[in-house]
């Protein structure tokens, strides 16, 4: 399995689903939850993870990453399990490489773990 880190993001806190994410959805796909990232947002849908990444000093250039759940081979979540856990992390291994997502303390790691499990196991 490839250990190349192809992407790394930080989820800060849950936010309402951004309007521009809706325009990216295909028929039958629904946005489930969205998070503020360091520079933009990430949305988990019923079919994939969509990460918008504003680039440059102005942030006008936007790169959109799309990770279909059907391409995730395995994942892991890690946290200290305590009240003051500042070190939660979600890791996903895909055919393209390894993705690391740092989770801010306002992000419920167990809820995210359940969402990934449901999505990957139902992606068929």
* CATH value at residue 43: 2.30.29.30
pLDDT in tens, 17-56: 998 899 999 999 999 999 999 878 999 999 999 999 877 6
Strand partners, 88: 103
Token pair recorded at residue 51: 């990460």
Helix (H, G, I), strand (E, B) or coil at 83: coil
Domain boundaries, position 10: 5-122
pLDDT in tens, 56-96: 666 678 889 999 999 999 999 988 665 555 678 999 999 88
pLDDT for residue 56: 65
pLDDT for residue 1: 46
pLDDT for residue 28: 94
Give the single-character DSSP code of 46: S
Q: Are 33 and 14 in contact (CB under 8 A)?
A: yes
Q: How many structural domains does the chain have?
A: 1
pLDDT of 3 > 60? The answer is no
pLDDT for residue 83: 55
Q: Which residues of 40-52 are buried (b: 16+ CB within 10 A; e: fewer)?
A: bbbbbbbbbbbbb
């Amino acid at each position: 399995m490839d250990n190349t880190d192809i992407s790394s993001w930080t989820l800060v806190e849950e936010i309402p689903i951004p309007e521009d994410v809706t325009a990216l959805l295909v028929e039958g796909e629904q946005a489930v939850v969205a998070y503020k990232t360091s520079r933009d947002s990430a949305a988990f849908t019923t079919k994939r993870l969509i990460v918008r990444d504003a680039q440059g000093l102005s942030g006008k250039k936007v790169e959109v990453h799309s990770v279909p759940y059907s391409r995730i081979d395995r994942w892991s979540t890690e946290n200290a399990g305590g009240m003051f856990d500042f070190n939660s992390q979600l890791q996903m291994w895909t055919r393209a490489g390894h993705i690391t997502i740092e989770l801010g303390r306002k992000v419920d790691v167990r809820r995210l773990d359940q969402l990934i499990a449901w999505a990957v196991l139902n992606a068929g």
